[in-house]
C-alpha cells in the first residue's frame, strides 16, 4: 500500500494532496493508493479526497484537533505498520518536513526529503532533490523496504479523479502519545489574497518593474482585478521589494496555475523551474530576446509602464461592458 497523508486546514484539503496522489500513482509499486486524513471533524476532507484514491483512511479524534509533530508521527507510524504500507508520501511543508523525519525514525525507513521527482526502478525508489542552494540536483536512492517521501509542493500536477465510485472512508482507531507542546495562540496574516499554491491565476513581477512602488502599482494592480495571487522573482525578493513567501523558482515556490503572467521577468532558468508547468504563460518584457519568450504562450514586447496600465484598463472596461451584454 502507498499512503498519501492529506494536508488540510479549516475543512479544506490543501492542493498539495493532489500532487502527492500523482506522485504515488507514478511510483507504481504494489497495492492501493490510500489517502490518510488526520484531525478533528475531518469528514468533509475525507469526502473531498475520496474520488481520487482507492481507499480513504480517517483518524478523527480530540488528540488530533491540533497539529503536533510527535502525535502525527505516532499516528501515521501505527497506521502504516497495521496496513503494511511500503511508501508514505507527505507534503514537504514546514510541518510535513518536521513530522516526516520522526515518522521515518519510527518506521526504520529511508527518508527521501523535499524531492522534485520520484520513480520506482526495478524495486528501488529513486528520487531527485535540490541541494547546495539549489545549484545541484542530487539523485538519491532509498535502501530500505519502507520509504517515507516528502514532496516539494507544487512540483507534481494535480491528479484527476479516478472515474470509479468514490472510496468509502474507513475509520481507524489509534493509541496516541500525550502532546508535549501546547499552541497558546495564533496570529493570522491580515491578507485575504489567495495563496500562491492554490491560485488559478498568478501575476509575478521582476526587476523590470523598477522598484517596490512599481511592483505595487503594476503587479499587485494587475493581480487585484484578476483575483490572482502575487509572485516575485528572486531579484525582487533580494532587493527587499517583496517577502520571500512570494518568491517563485528553484529556491522559492513551485506553481502550476492555469495562467501565469510574468511582468518584467527575464526568465532565468532558476525562475522557469518554478513556473514552467503553468498551463498558459503570458510574458511582458521590453527585450524581445529575453529567455521568458522561449517558454511563454503569449508574449508582449513592450515597456511594462505602458503595457500593464493598458491591460488593467481593458480588464476594467470588460467588467463594465461584458461581452454579449
Ligand atoms: C542558486 C540560485 C537559485 C536561484 N533561485 C531563484 C528563484 O527561486 N527564483 C528566481 O526568480 N530567481 C532565482 N535565482 C536568480 C536568477 O538566476 C535570476 O537572477 C533572477 O530570476 C532574475 O530576476 P528578474 O528576472 O526579476 O531580473 P532580471 O534578470 O534583471 O530581469 C529583468 C527583466 O526585466 C526587463 N525589463 C527591464 N525594464 C523593463 C521595462 N520597463 N519594461 C519591460 N521589461 C523590462 C529586462 O529586459 C529583463 O529581462 C537563483 C539564482 C541562483 C544562482
**91-135 pLDDT, tens per residue?**
999 999 999 999 999 999 999 999 999 999 988 999 999 988 777
Ligand 1 center to 271 CA (angstroms): 7
State phi, psi for 239 to the nearest 5 degrees: -75, -10
Q: Counting Cβ atoms within 10 Å, is residue 7 exposed (0-12), middle (13-18) or buried (19+)?
A: buried
Look-up of cell digits 517583496: 242
Contact by Cβ (8 Å): 303, 286: yes
Same fold? 2-171, 196-320: yes
State phi, psi for 58 to the nearest 5 degrees: -125, 125
pLDDT of residue 279: 94
DSSP string, 8-33: EETTEE-THHHHHHHHHHHH--SS-E
State phi, psi for 160 to the nearest 5 degrees: -95, 155
C-alpha neighbours within 13 Å on the C-beta side of residue 195: 12
Residue whose CA lies nearest to ligand 1 atom number 15 = 234
Task: Give, for ligand 1, the residue of 136, 213, 235 to mutate: max count of ligand atoms closer than 8 Å to Cβ.
Answer: 235
Which residues does residue 136 pair with via DSSP β-bridges, in sequence order?
131
pLDDT of residue 198: 83
Atom of ligand 1 at shortest range from CA of 249: 8
CATH code at 196-320: 3.40.50.1220
Overall size of the chain counted in residues: 325
For residue 325, pLDDT beyond 70: no
What are 218-227's pLDDT values in tens digits? 999 999 999 9
State how far the Cα of 252 lies from the Cα of 230, in Å rounded to an integer: 13
Residue whose CA lies nearest to ligand 1 atom number 53 = 135
- Give the pLDDT mean for 312-316: 93
Ligand 1 center to 19 CA (angstroms): 27
- Kindly report which listed range (126-135, 185-194, 208-217, 230-239) carries the lowest average pLDDT score: 185-194
pLDDT of residue 324: 59
Domain ranges of the chain: 2-171, 196-320
CATH code at 2-171: 3.40.50.620
pLDDT of residue 266: 98
Q: Say yes or no: CB of residue 137 within 6 Å of ligand 1.
A: no
Amino acid at each position: 500500500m502507498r499512503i498519501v497523508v492529506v494536508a488540510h486546514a479549516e475543512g479544506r484539503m490543501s492542493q498539495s494532496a493532489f500532487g502527492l496522489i500523482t506522485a504515488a500513482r507514478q511510483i507504481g509499486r504494489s497495492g492501493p493508493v490510500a489517502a490518510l486524513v488526520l484531525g478533528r471533524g475531518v469528514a468533509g476532507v475525507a469526502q473531498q479526497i475520496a474520488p481520487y484514491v482507492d481507499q480513504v483512511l480517517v483518524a478523527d479524534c480530540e488528540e488530533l484537533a491540533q497539529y503536533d509533530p510527535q502525535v502525527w508521527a505516532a499516528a501515521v507510524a501505527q497506521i502504516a505498520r497495521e496496513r503494511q504500507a511500503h511508501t508514505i508520501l507527505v507534503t514537504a511543508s514546514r510541518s510535513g518536513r518536521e513530522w516526516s523525519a520522526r515518522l521515518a525514525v519510527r518506521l526504520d525507513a529511508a527518508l527521501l526529503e523535499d524531492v522534485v521527482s520520484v520513480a520506482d526502478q526495478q524495486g528501488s525508489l529513486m528520487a531527485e532533490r535540490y541541494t547546495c542552494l539549489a545549484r545541484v540536483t542530487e539523485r538519491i536512492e532509498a535502501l530500505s523496504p519502507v520509504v517515507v517521501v516528502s514532496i516539494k509542493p507544487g512540483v507534481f500536477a494535480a491528479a484527476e479523479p479516478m472515474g470509479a465510485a468514490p472510496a468509502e472512508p474507513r475509520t481507524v482507531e489509534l493509541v496516541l502519545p500525550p502532546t508535549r507542546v501546547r499552541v497558546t495562540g495564533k496570529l493570522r496574516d491580515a491578507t485575504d489574497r489567495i495563496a500562491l499554491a492554490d491560485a488559478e491565476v498568478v501575476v509575478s513581477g521582476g526587476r523590470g518593474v523598477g522598484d517596490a512602488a512599481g511592483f505595487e502599482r503594476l503587479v499587485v494592480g494587475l493581480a487585484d482585478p484578476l483575483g490572482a495571487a502575487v509572485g516575485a522573482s528572486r531579484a525582487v525578493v533580494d532587493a527587499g521589494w517583496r517577502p520571500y513567501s512570494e518568491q517563485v523558482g528553484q529556491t522559492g515556490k513551485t506553481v502550476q496555475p492555469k495562467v501565469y503572467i510574468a511582468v518584467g521577468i527575464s526568465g532565468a532558468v532558476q525562475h522557469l523551474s518554478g513556473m514552467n508547468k503553468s498551463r498558459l504563460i503570458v510574458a511582458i518584457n521590453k527585450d524581445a530576446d529575453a529567455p521568458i519568450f522561449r517558454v511563454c504562450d503569449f508574449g508582449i514586447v513592450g515597456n511594462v509602464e505602458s503595457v500593464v496600465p493598458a491591460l488593467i484598463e481593458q480588464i476594467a472596461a470588460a467588467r463594465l461592458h461584458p461581452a454579449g451584454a
